[in-house]
């Protein structure tokens, strides 16, 4: 009893003097962000809704995004990583407390015994009770390990949020590219119908002696060129459908019925950005980098603690006897308490090498954080500029398409009247197809650019509450 009291008193004294070695982490403080691209007139300071894809008023897009956020397989992987990191954190917290295990053993042996004159003696030993082990965290080694595990868990949460932003953006991007391709196919098919009419007209004029074989063959060549382009567009359409299905965790052909062609106009309102000064807090990838820096800093503390002694206590409480039938009685009660001290006093070279390695790792992670900040700013400025320029280009292409249609109509009338040759009409039709195709592509690019802006802004409130449920 006296020994037990002394040990408890010693432990209390040691715990009272516990210190946590290593650097204390302080999160980098970033100045408010000023985005030059946000001053363009195509943007507004209104805050967008968290479900930014709803601004397109497209029920098919909304359904696709919601289904992807619930069923995407990449998100399931991210969820599993969060669960894994959470389990590691819980384990690291429990490492700070004593570990108690229940067990029993039976030992049967026959061996020489010096007390019996060297004769071989048979013996049986039964043991039943509880073993306990506890490393007193005198210098914060386990506390720093738990701190690192907590930061790793936070990083995985941020990774999950980032994955949600990426999945929603990928669904929207592929959706708008699909709609753009479908519109380009429709333009090509309409042009193909017009060219077939022109082909018949040139053949009729040649039969009547008013045309030439050159007109007929030129018309046929142009017709076949358009026919050859359509299969390539259909390949792109099929690939976009398949990509969307896989993003939703489905087989590639599962969405063919849902993705029938429909007209999707270009985003024509001022794009709401809200307050962009807190961009770096909105970006989940920046939060990931910051949490990784916190974890690396805590691991420097773990390595620093290895320079100091480690005190552990182990013990046993239970019953020990030579007869199983009467093992559990007062006479067989047993206990033991074993303090142990370990210290790398003659291996400081190895410990210091590990400490240097952890500090170098922390320096590298700090550089990665700074790089993440710069890449976030670059990504956002590029996205803002791209959307503004795509809107400006769309206005020009729309005017070009309108002029090309008018020119084709006039060329068609004059060719029928005989006041223009066929090559003029052919050139007008070629220009019209090119302009209409460019217009369909430009409209899709505007919508894709909207997706790029919200992706660069971190999805806004989209990632505030993950839509993927975590299992307990």
Please give the Cα distance from 422 to 211 (Å, whole number). 9
What's the confidence (pLDDT) of residue 116? 61
What's the confidence (pLDDT) of residue 3? 45
Please give the Cα distance from 148 to 305 (Å, whole number). 14
Would you say 290 and 28 are in contact if contact means Cβ atoms under 8 Å apart? Answer: yes
| For the chain, the helix, strand and coil percentages under 3-state DSSP, each to the nearest 5 | 65, 10, 25
Alpha helices in 17-140 (DSSP H): 59-71, 73-94
Q: List the one residue out of 32, 56, 35, 34 whose CA is nearest residue 271.
A: 56
- Give me 272's structure tokens: 């709401």
DSSP string, 405-464: HHHHHHHHHHHHHTSS-HHHHHHHHHHHHHHHHHHHHHHHHHHHHHHHHHHHTTTGGGGT
Please give the Cα distance from 330 to 412 (Å, whole number). 113
Please give the angle made by the CA atoms of 222, 226 and 231, to the nearest 5 degrees: 150
The SS3 call for residue 247 is: helix
What's the confidence (pLDDT) of residue 5? 44
pLDDT tens readout for residues 54-75: 999 999 999 999 999 999 999 9
What's the confidence (pLDDT) of residue 422? 76
Please give the Cα distance from 138 to 308 (Å, whole number). 9
Q: Is the dihedral of CA 174, 180, 184, 186 positive or negative?
A: positive
Please give the angle made by the CA atoms of 47, 171 and 38, to the nearest 5 degrees: 30
What's the confidence (pLDDT) of residue 464? 47
DSSP string, 308-362: S-EEEEEEEEEEEES-STT-SSGGGEEEEEEEEEE--TT-HHHHHHHHHHHHHHH
**Strand duo 333-342 + 310-321: pairing:** antiparallel
Please give the Cα distance from 250 to 302 (Å, whole number). 45
What's the confidence (pLDDT) of residue 6? 41
The strand pairing partners of 272, in sequence order, are 44
What's the confidence (pLDDT) of residue 399? 94
Whole-model pTM: value is 0.86
Please give the Cα distance from 302 to 295 (Å, whole number). 11
- Give me 362's structure tokens: 């922390």
What's the confidence (pLDDT) of residue 453? 95
Residues whose CB falls within 8 Å of the CB of residue 353, separated by 6 or more in sequence, listed in order: none
Please give the Cα distance from 23 to 300 (Å, whole number). 7
CA distance readout (Å), 15 to 9, 20, 135, 136, 287: 10, 11, 11, 7, 35
Q: Which stretches of the chain score pLDDT less than 70?
A: 1-18, 114-119, 461-472
Q: 41 phi and psi, to 5 degrees?
A: -65, -10
What's the confidence (pLDDT) of residue 465? 47
The total number of residues written for the chain in this structure: 472
Number of H helices, E strands in the chain: 9, 6
Please give the Cα distance from 309 to 336 (Å, whole number). 23
């Amino acid at each position: 009893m006296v020994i037990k009291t002394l040990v408890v008193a010693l432990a209390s004294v040691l715990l009272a003097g516990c210190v946590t070695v290593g650097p204390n982490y302080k999160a980098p403080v970033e100045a408010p962000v000023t985005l030059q691209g946000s001053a363009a007139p195509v943007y507004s300071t209104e805050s967008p809704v968290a479900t930014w894809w709803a601004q397109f008023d497209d029920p098919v897009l909304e359904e696709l995004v919601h289904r992807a956020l619930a069923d995407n397989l990449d998100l399931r992987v991210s969820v599993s990583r969060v669960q894994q990191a959470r389990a590691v954190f819980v384990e690291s917290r429990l490492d700070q407390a004593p570990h108690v295990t229940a067990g029993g053993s039976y030992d049967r042996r026959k061996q020489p015994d010096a007390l019996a004159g060297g004769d071989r003696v048979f013996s049986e030993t039964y043991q039943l009770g509880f073993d306990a082990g506890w490393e007193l965290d005198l210098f914060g080694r386990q506390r720093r390990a738990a701190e690192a595990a907590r930061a790793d868990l936070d990083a995985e949460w941020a990774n999950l949020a980032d994955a949600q932003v990426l999945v929603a953006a990928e669904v929207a991007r592929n959706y708008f590219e699909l709609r753009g391709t479908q519109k380009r196919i429709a333009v090509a098919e309409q042009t193909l119908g017009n060219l077939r009419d022109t082909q018949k007209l040139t053949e009729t004029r040649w039969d009547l002696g008013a045309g030439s074989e050159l007109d007929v063959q030129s018309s046929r060549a142009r017709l076949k060129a358009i026919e050859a382009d359509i299969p390539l567009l259909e390949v792109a359409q099929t690939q976009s459908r398949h990509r969307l299905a896989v993003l939703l965790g489905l087989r590639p052909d599962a969405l063919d019925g849902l993705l029938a062609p429909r007209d999707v106009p270009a985003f024509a309102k001022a794009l709401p950005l809200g307050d962009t000064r807190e961009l770096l807090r909105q970006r989940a990838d920046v939060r990931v980098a910051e949490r990784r820096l916190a974890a690396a800093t805590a691991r420097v503390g773990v390595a620093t603690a290895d320079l100091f002694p480690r005190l552990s206590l182990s013990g046993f409480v239970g019953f020990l006897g030579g007869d199983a039938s009467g093992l559990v009685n007062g006479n067989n009660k047993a206990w033991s308490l074993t303090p142990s001290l370990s210290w790398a006093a003659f291996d400081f070279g190895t410990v210091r090498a590990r400490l240097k390695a952890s500090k170098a790792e922390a320096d590298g992670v700090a550089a990665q954080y700074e790089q993440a900040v710069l890449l976030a700013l670059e990504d956002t400025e590029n996205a803002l500029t791209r959307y503004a320029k795509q809107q400006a280009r769309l206005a020009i292409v729309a005017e070009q398409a309108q002029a090309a249609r008018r020119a084709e109509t006039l060329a068609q009338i004059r060719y029928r009247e005989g006041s223009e040759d066929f090559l003029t009409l052919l050139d007008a039709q070629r220009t019209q197809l090119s302009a209409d195709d460019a217009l369909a592509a430009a409209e899709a690019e505007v919508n894709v650019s909207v997706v790029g802006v919200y992706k660069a802004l971190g999805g806004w409130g989209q990632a505030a509450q993950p839509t993927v449920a975590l299992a307990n």
